[in-house]
C-alpha cells in the first residue's frame, strides 16, 4: 500500500458521521502529475478515487486522501496565468475588492494557494499583499509581479508566523484551494488567528450544486477533497467554528463557483437565506439526491467513449484542447488514450512536451493547429468554451467540430 494514501470513513467536516459512498471513479494517478518523457518508463503511482456524502452535514468529500505534501510541495504544473479568462476574472475581482473594502497601504491582504500571484498582483497597488503557496515553482512567478510569497501550507502555524511578522490581515483570500485541504479545521483555526476582528475571509470554490447538475464530474480528482454546498459550509464555519457566513455569490467560473464572505460576527446578507432555499429546492440537503449522481456519470462516460470510437472507425483525426487537471479524470475514467486522441494542445509552457497522467497522451503547444488541422477537437477545458470557441473561430470556419463533453456530450 502506498504510504501517501489513506482511506477516510468518517466525515472530515463534522467528524460525527460515517460517510455514505456515492461514486467510484476507479483508480488513477493525481490529475496534475504530468509526465516528462523520462518518467514514461517508470511506475506511475495511482490511487482510488471515490466520493461520499455525510448524512449529517451534507459535506461531499473523497474517501481517499493523498498526503498534500505529495500533491503540492513540488513543481506545480498549473499556472493561473495560462488561462486568459481566469486572469481577467481575478484582475477584475482584485480591483473590486480594493474599491469595496477601501483598501489602503497599511492593510494586509493574504492569499492562500496564491499560485502565480494574478489576484494579489491586481491588489498590490492598493494594499500590502502576501501569498502563501506550498509549490516550489509558482511563487517565483508571483515574485516577478511584486507579490511576496511564502512557500508553505496555510494553517494555524503559518498564520501565527504571519501575525508575528506582518500583523493581522484585513482580508484573507482563498480561490480554488479551500476544498483542496484534508485538515480543513487547521485552515479555519489559521483564519481565526490571522484575521483582524473587522476582517473578512473570502473564498471561491466549486459549488456542489453545479457538480450534481450542469457541471462535470471531471472536477473530481485527488486534489479536490471537498465539494461544498452552502449547507455544508454553514455547518463547518458556524456550528463547528463559530464564524459567520455573511454573504454569498454564485459566479460563472469553473462551471459555477460559490464565493463566500466570512466574518467574525455581525450582519448577514439576504443572499445567505436565499441561497440556502435554492439548495433545498435542488435537494442538496437530502442524501438520496447525491446517490443518483453515479448513473448520470456512467451515461456520460459511455456516450463519450462511443462517440470517439465511432470517429476513429470513420478515420477522423481527433485531438484534445486544453490539458486541465479535470481533463485527466475524464480521460482516465472514460478509458481515452492516444489511440483515440492524437495529441492535446495547451497554452501552459510547463505542460507542453509532457504526457497526461495515466492516459499518456502527448501535450503540445497550440501552434501545431496552424499546420495540422484535425476533424474534431475534444474540448477538455469546457469551462472556457465560450472564450475558446470565439478564439478558434478560424478553425471552426474551416469545418473543425468541437466536442463538448459535459454536462451531456454535444458537438458544435
Residue 388 as a binder of ligand JHZ (CB under 6 A): the answer is yes
Stretch that binds ligand JHZ, among 4-12, 303-311, 370-378, 379-387 (CB under 6 A): 379-387
If the CB atoms of residues 31 and 195 are measured against ligand JHZ, the closer one turns out to be: 31
Q: Are 402 and 377 in contact (CB under 8 A)?
A: yes
If the CB atoms of residues 183 and 289 are measured against ligand JHZ, the closer one turns out to be: 183
* Spatial separation of the C-alpha atoms in residues 375 and 364, rounded to whole Å: 17
Query: In 54-192, at which residue ranges do the beta strands (DSSP E only) sit?
Result: 60-62, 64-66, 108-112, 128-132, 149-150, 169-175
Closest listed residue to residue 230, CA positions, set 294, 183, 270, 285: 285
Residue nearest to ligand JHZ (CB): 324
If the CB atoms of residues 54 and 211 are measured against ligand JHZ, the closer one turns out to be: 211
Query: Taking the complex as a whole, how short is the minimal distance between the CB of residue 17 and ligand JHZ, in angstroms?
Result: 26
Binding residue (CB under 6 A) for ligand JHZ from 258, 323, 336, 403: 323
C-alpha cell of residue 61: 468529500
Closest listed residue to residue 248, CA positions, set 257, 260, 265, 262: 260
Stretch that binds ligand JHZ, among 190-198, 228-236, 292-300, 324-332 (CB under 6 A): 324-332
If the CB atoms of residues 263 and 329 are measured against ligand JHZ, the closer one turns out to be: 329
One-character DSSP codes across 83-95: -HHHHHHHHHHHH
* Spatial separation of the C-alpha atoms in residues 63 and 19, rounded to whole Å: 8
* Spatial separation of the C-alpha atoms in residues 276 and 58, rounded to whole Å: 13
Q: Give me the 74-103 binding string for ligand JHZ, x by CB under 6 A, dash otherwise.
A: ----x---xxxxx-----------------
If the CB atoms of residues 115 and 246 are measured against ligand JHZ, the closer one turns out to be: 115
* Spatial separation of the C-alpha atoms in residues 181 and 265, rounded to whole Å: 24
Binding residue (CB under 6 A) for ligand JHZ from 135, 191, 325, 341: 325
Query: Taking the complex as a whole, how short is the minimal distance between the CB of residue 325 and ligand JHZ, in angstroms?
Result: 4
Cα angle: 99, vertex 105, 106; to 5 degrees:
115
Query: Taking the complex as a whole, how short is the minimal distance between the CB of residue 86 and ligand JHZ, in angstroms?
Result: 6
Residue 348 as a binder of ligand JHZ (CB under 6 A): the answer is yes
Give the interface with ligand JHZ as residue ranges (CB under 6 A). Answer: 78, 82-86, 176, 223, 254, 322-326, 346-348, 351, 381, 383-384, 387-388, 391
Amino acid at each position: 500500500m502506498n504510504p501517501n494514501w489513506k482511506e477516510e470513513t468518517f466525515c472530515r467536516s463534522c467528524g460525527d458521521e460515517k460517510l455514505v459512498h456515492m461514486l467510484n471513479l476507479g483508480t488513477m494517478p493525481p490529475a496534475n502529475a504530468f509526465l516528462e518523457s523520462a518518467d514514461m518508463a517508470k511506475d506511475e503511482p495511482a490511487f482510488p478515487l471515490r466520493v461520499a456524502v455525510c448524512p449529517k452535514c451534507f459535506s461531499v468529500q473523497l474517501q481517499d486522501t493523498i498526503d498534500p505534501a505529495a500533491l503540492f510541495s513540488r513543481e506545480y504544473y498549473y499556472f493561473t496565468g495560462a488561462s486568459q479568462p481566469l486572469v481577467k476574472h481575478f484582475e477584475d475581482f482584485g480591483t473590486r475588492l480594493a474599491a469595496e473594502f477601501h483598501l489602503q497601504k497599511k492593510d494586509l491582504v493574504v492569499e492562500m494557494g496564491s499560485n502565480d500571484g494574478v489576484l494579489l498582483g491586481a491588489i498590490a497597488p492598493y494594499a500590502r499583499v502576501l501569498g502563501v503557496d506550498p509549490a516550489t515553482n509558482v511563487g517565483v512567478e508571483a515574485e516577478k509581479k511584486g507579490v511576496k510569497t511564502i512557500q508553505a501550507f496555510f494553517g494555524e502555524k503559518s498564520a501565527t508566523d504571519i501575525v508575528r511578522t506582518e500583523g493581522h490581515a484585513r482580508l484573507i483570500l482563498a480561490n480554488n484551494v479551500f476544498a483542496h485541504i484534508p485538515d480543513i479545521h487547521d485552515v479555519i483555526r489559521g483564519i481565526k488567528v490571522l484575521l483582524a476582528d473587522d476582517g473578512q475571509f473570502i473564498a471561491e470554490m466549486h459549488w456542489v450544486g453545479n457538480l450534481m447538475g450542469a457541471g462535470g464530474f471531471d472536477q473530481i480528482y485527488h486534489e479536490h477533497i471537498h465539494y461544498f454546498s452552502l449547507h455544508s459550509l454553514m455547518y463547518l464555519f458556524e456550528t463547528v467554528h463559530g464564524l459567520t457566513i455573511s454573504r454569498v455569490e454564485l459566479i460563472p467560473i469553473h462551471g459555477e463557483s460559490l464565493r463566500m464572505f466570512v466574518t467574525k460576527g455581525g450582519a448577514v446578507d439576504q443572499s445567505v437565506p436565499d441561497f440556502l432555499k435554492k439548495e433545498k429546492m435542488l435537494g442538496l440537503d437530502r442524501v438520496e439526491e447525491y446517490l443518483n449522481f453515479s448513473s448520470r456519470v456512467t451515461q456520460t462516460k459511455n456516450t463519450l467513449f462511443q462517440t470517439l470510437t465511432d470517429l476513429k472507425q470513420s478515420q477522423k483525426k481527433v485531438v484534445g484542447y486544453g490539458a486541465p487537471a479535470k481533463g485527466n479524470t475524464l480521460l482516465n475514467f472514460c478509458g481515452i488514450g492516444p489511440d483515440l486522441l492524437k495529441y492535446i494542445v495547451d497554452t501552459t509552457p510547463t505542460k507542453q512536451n509532457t504526457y497526461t497522467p495515466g492516459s499518456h497522451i502527448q501535450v503540445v503547444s497550440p501552434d501545431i493547429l496552424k499546420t495540422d488541422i484535425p476533424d474534431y477537437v475534444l474540448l477538455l477545458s469546457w469551462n472556457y468554451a465560450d472564450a475558446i470557441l470565439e478564439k478558434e473561430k478560424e478553425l471552426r470556419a474551416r469545418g473543425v467540430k468541437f466536442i463538448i463533453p459535459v454536462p451531456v456530450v454535444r458537438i458544435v
